[in-house]
Amino acid sequence: MKEKYTPLFEPFTFRSGITLKNRIVMAPLTNYSSNDDGTVSDAELRYYSRRATGVGMVITACIYVTENGKGFPGEFSGASDEMIPSMRRLASTIKEKGAQAVLQIFHAGRMAPPELVPGGEIVSASEVADDNAPIPRALTDEEVQEIIRAYGETTRRAIEAGFDGVEIHGANFYLVQQFFSGHTNRRTDRWGGSLEKRLAFPLAVVDEVKRVVAKHADRPFLVGYRFSPEEPYEKGITMDDTFVLVDALADKELDYLHVSLQDFWSKPRRGGDSTRTRIEQIRERIGDRTAVIGVGSLYTADDVLAARQTGVPLIALGRGIIIEPEWVEKVMDGKEDEIATTVGPNDQEKLEIPDPLWERIMTVEGWFPVKKETPVK
């Protein structure tokens, strides 16, 4: 390995005591490939096994905490104890390859497709629909509390299944973010109104997850939180709102905050300093209170090194680790010039990517860097 890449391979220990062997994390990315009953498929296990060998930590695709929180076809379930054996298969597959296994827990809220949830009923903080989507029903106070408890129950299942931690999915327009956003949360009760009241649900989820970890974990078990720093809506989240959020989260003694970005180097649209990157300002705001994970269109070793040199301690690879499962090994072996940064129509079998994910990679324009070549039939 070239000496300049040494900062990518230093161990890192979280507040909880969990230690990573290096600074590279597999980012959570939905793969649409679970079985119809919500259990993890064999294809998913092969996909994760292939990518868990080199990285320090794998954050799985999101798992839904209640039946009405399912956000995608082929998403795995954490909504009942019947799912613990399935969850255990996933945790074991990742851990036996040497990576720490973190389960991302989530509820889709208004982003749930009606055909995937009981009775086709979509719920959210308020009756505000996504573009061209059904109007969701506003959750009652009792239902809000039930969902908070469900995050805790799925955390308990993750502990029993052998995971090393959970990541609360508070990003990408899903339910936790829907409660924090002034665009989707128009409530006037204790769960909405002022910015501080819109924080109530995200912080209640954090508190419940931490309570369950303290009660049930007999070993170090980490808790992280992923968030999106801005929304495009007029009343949506701004960088200034996010500074309030990260202050509150950092004070909760979480193991890390994971900034969900399409581009690591992106700058704010509204709020904050428009001349400096979002992640720079977020890390500055958090200080030493907790660790930060950065992500966003990083593919080459030099891409990741440049991101690491900003002072962000952990760098997540999403599309990059799907395209190049041996990313870590190639850098360690001095073969960083051989890292693939595009994917072609003939690469599925070689990369062990499940059919549903592969179909989307090939058909969703602009999502992955796809090289043009004639498919081999």
pLDDT in tens, 98-139: 999 999 999 999 999 999 999 999 999 999 999 888 999 999
Rounded CA separation 102/166 (Å): 5
Rg (CA), the chain: 20
Q: CA 26, CA 57: separation in Å to the nearest integer?
A: 6
**Tokens representing 157?**
């299942």
Which residues are within 8 A (CB) of 8 and not within 5 positions of it... i.e. 6 or more apart?
Answer: 22, 23, 24, 301, 304, 305, 308, 315, 331
The owner of tokens 């993750």 is 158
Name the packing angle between helices 84-95 and 141-161 (round to 10°).
50
- Specify the pLDDT at position 131: 87
Q: What is the 3-state secondary structure (H, E, C) of the chain?
A: CCHHHHHHCCCEECCCCCEECCCEEECCCCCCCCCCCCCCCHHHHHHHHHHCCCCCEEEEEEEECCHHHCCCCCCCECCCHHHHHHHHHHHHHHHCCCCEEEEEEECCHHHCCHHHCHHHCCEECCCCCCCCCCCCEECCHHHHHHHHHHHHHHHHHHHHHCCCEEEEEECCCCHHHHHHCCCCCCCCCCCCCCHHHHCHHHHHHHHHHHHHHHHHCCCCCEEEEEECCCCCCCCCCCHHHHHHHHHHHHCCCCCEEEECCCCCCCCCCCCCCCCCCHHHHHHHHHCCCCEEEECCCCCCHHHHHHHHCCCCCEEEECHHHHHCCCHHHHHHCCCHHHCCCCECCCCHHHHCCCHHHHHHHHHCCCCCCECCCCCCC
What pLDDT sits at residue 331? 98
Beta bridge partners of 19: 13
Sign of the Cα torsion 212, 215, 217, 221 reads: positive
Residues of the chain with pLDDT under 50: none
Residues forming CATH 3.20.20.70 domain(s) in the chain: 3-341
Which pLDDT belongs to residue 377? 66
Q: What is the pTM of this model?
A: 0.97
Single-letter amino acid code for the residue at 361: I
Query: At the topology level of CATH, where does 3-341 sit?
Result: TIM Barrel (3.20.20)
Amino acid at site 285: R
Cα–Cα–Cα angle for 204, 207, 210, rounded to 5 degrees: 150
310 burial type by CB count under 10 A (0-12 exposed, 13-18 middle, 19+ buried): middle
Convert the pLDDT of each residue in 275-312 to its tens digit. Answer: 999 999 999 999 999 999 999 999 999 999 999 999 99
Specify the pLDDT at position 372: 82
